[in-house]
Amino acid sequence: MTTFVKAVTLSANGVALVPLEVVHEAGLKAAAADGELWKIRVTSVPEPGATADYIADALRGRDAGDRFAFAVIEQATGNVLGTTSYHDILPAVKRLEIGYTWYAKSAQRTHVNTTCKLLMLSHAFDVLQCNVVGWRTDNYNYSTFRIKFRN
């Protein structure tokens, strides 16, 4: 099977997107604990004891070719700030979506999400030559929904 999304590191503005790996487990647990994010209904954030399973699921998606998860890293400290993914990848029509995104509470409402989305969109259109990139938001995730329409 040919892999549409190849392993790559994307970086800008002090933020790096690196392929999610098992070594990011402790960092993801810490990011999720910053705000107890697993308690928020509209997120896919794993509870602390389920982080390894969350990563394993993401890696199975990578192996199947339908998801490519990134760890979001603060370059100055090396801290894991959260995760984001390409998913529902359809190479035949050069289409994918961006989602499974969550960040530590301390990284929310900062430049991090804007930087990550710009990096991923640029990579999807300019490198992967995608025809369509989707971005879905839960109807009840009001803060993310508003971000999509800000100027």
Under a CB-based contact definition with an 8 Å cutoff, are residues 54 and 22 in contact?
Answer: no
CATH of the domain at 42: 3.40.630.30
How many structural domains does the chain have? 1
In this predicted structure, what is the pLDDT of residue 45? 76
Give the mean pLDDT per block of 10 residues along the chain (151 residues): 85 98 95 68 73 95 96 98 96 95 90 95 97 77 53 46
- Predicted pLDDT at 151: 46
In a domain, 42, yes or no: yes
Contact 98, 106 (CB under 8 A): no
Is 3 part of any domain?
Answer: no
Residue 2 has a pLDDT of 55
pLDDT at res. 137: 67
Q: Residues near 47 by Cβ (< 8 Å), separated by ≥ 6? A: 32, 38
Domain, as residue range, for 121? 10-147
Please indicate, yes or no, if residue 19 is contained in any of the structural domains. Answer: yes
Sheet holding 15-19: strands in order across? Answer: 10-12, 15-19, 67-74, 80-90, 95-103, 132-135
Q: Does residue 5 form part of some domain?
A: no
Would you state the pLDDT for residue 66? 94
pLDDT at residue 86, as a whole number: 97
- Does residue 106 contact residue 72 with C-beta atoms inside 8 Å? no
pTM reported for the whole predicted model: 0.88
- The predicted structure's pLDDT at residue 148: 52
- Give yes or no for a contact between 116 and 72, defined as CB atoms under 8 angstroms apart: yes
